[in-house]
Chains A and B, each alone.
Chain A
Amino acid sequence: MQDTITSLINPADQRGKYLETEELEKLRRYFQSGETRVKAASAISNNAANIIRESVANSLLYGDITCPGGNMYPTRRYAACIRDLTLFLRYATYAMLAADPSILDERVLDGLKETYNSLGVPIQPTVQAIQAMKEVTTRLVGAEAGGEIGMYFDHICNGLS
């Protein structure tokens, strides 16, 4: 996987060059935002179960999807849904720490849409739940870090749509 630092170092090494001034500036901004990212990641990991519970309550729980005939019924499918949401939350947190979406492309989105389609998992409610997760997470970590991780939730939604 790639992160902001490796994405600058690897091409520099291919050229046999030190990092240029603007690349160092990019790293400087990343280092400076590091503390915010780490704090947000810590808040998210300590509250992951709550984030999932609240996000589902805000998006899917009270709709038809949890009733007989819906895609979150029976309990086995409910469990699969919250397992996947937890996965999205975890990977969005990784991407926020790395300040790079490539881990999402490589380890989450590659083949996901096709898998969901073949399993009959509806995309639209999934996106709705991820958007709810974005709001709940932003409330928890504040606007700055929320905007940052929000990009990666959106990236997952875009990859599914």
Chain B
Amino acid sequence: MSIVAQVIAQSDDANRFLSNTELDKLQDFFRTGEQRLKVAQILTQNEQKIVEEGSRRFWQVVPNTPSNSGDPKKTALCQRDQSWYLRLISYAVLAGNMKPLEDIGVDGMREMYTSLGVPVGNIGNCMRCLKEVASNMMSSEEAAIAKPYFDYLIRAMY
């Protein structure tokens, strides 16, 4: 759900037109549209690089983790999830809302990793590394737009 759909649903529940505060929120969102598109493009075009470099940093910080255990299947699975999370972040940046992240990648995430025997905190550290690598590819304005979405994930993984 996008920020637009969200404020509309909120107004509709209250049987009213959008408030000035809500309209201002949408205005701010639309004004950052061009940068949001840029962020999504950077993530799309550099996914592979971000995942590879992010993994390297992650294994330096947390060497004792399933993806670094020498089992190529575990490494592949971990990196697949990394690229999935980058894709979800690109959606959320375009939607101006955490909702796509929450609905697709956070609800049930802890239970899933626990059942797979992957320490959730490690994944959080991994996301932190992806954030660093991705942010370095962005202008400071673009990185500031992407930041809350990475941080939301990182927080959800502690």
Given contacts A18-B44, A94-B11, A98-B5, contact A38 B95 (CB under 8 A): no
Contact A98 B94 (CB under 8 A): no
Contact B27 A35 (CB under 8 A): yes
From A23-31, A62-70, A110-118, the one touching the partner chain is A23-31
Contact B12 A107 (CB under 8 A): yes
- Which of chain A's residues have a CB closer than 8 A to the CB of B100? 9, 13
Interface positions of B from 95 to 121, Cβ below 8 Å from A: 95-96, 100, 104
B62 near A: Cβ within 8 Å? no
Chain A window 127-147, contacts with chain B (Cβ cutoff 8 Å), 1 for yes, 0 for no: 000000000000000000000
Contact A6 B5 (CB under 8 A): yes
B148 near A: Cβ within 8 Å? no
Report how many A-B pairs have Cβ atoms within 8 Å.
103
CB of A18, distance to nearest CB on chain B (Å): 4
From A39-47, A52-60, A71-79, A152-160, the one touching the partner chain is A39-47
CB of A95, distance to nearest CB on chain B (Å): 9
CB of B33, distance to nearest CB on chain A (Å): 3
A122–B29 Cα distance when bound, in Å, is 41
B157 near A: Cβ within 8 Å? no
Given contacts A3-B8, A13-B104, contact A97 B18 (CB under 8 A): yes
CB of B43, distance to nearest CB on chain A (Å): 7
A138–B104 Cα distance when bound, in Å, is 40
A20–B76 Cα distance when bound, in Å, is 25
Chain A window 1-17, contacts with chain B (Cβ cutoff 8 Å), 1 for yes, 0 for no: 11111101100110011
Given contacts A34-B27, A45-B18, contact A1 B9 (CB under 8 A): yes
A interface, size bucket:
35 or more
Contact B20 A12 (CB under 8 A): no
A32 near B: Cβ within 8 Å? yes
A93 near B: Cβ within 8 Å? yes
A136–B29 Cα distance when bound, in Å, is 29
Contact B18 A41 (CB under 8 A): yes
B2 near A: Cβ within 8 Å? yes
- Which of chain B's residues have a CB closer than 8 A to the CB of A42? 20, 23
B26 near A: Cβ within 8 Å? yes
B48 near A: Cβ within 8 Å? no
A103 near B: Cβ within 8 Å? yes
B90 near A: Cβ within 8 Å? yes
Name B45's closest neighbour in chain A (CB-CB).
A18
A80 near B: Cβ within 8 Å? no
B73 near A: Cβ within 8 Å? no
Residue from A18, A34, A98 in contact with B29 in the complex, judged by beta carbons closer than 8 Å: A34
- Which of chain A's residues have a CB closer than 8 A to the CB of B149? none
Interface positions of B from 16 to 56, Cβ below 8 Å from A: 16-18, 20, 23, 26-27, 29-31, 33-34, 36-37, 40-41, 43-44, 47
Chain B interface (Cβ < 8 Å from any Cβ of A): 1-2, 4-5, 8-9, 11-12, 16-18, 20, 23, 26-27, 29-31, 33-34, 36-37, 40-41, 43-44, 47, 84, 87-88, 90-91, 94-96, 100, 104
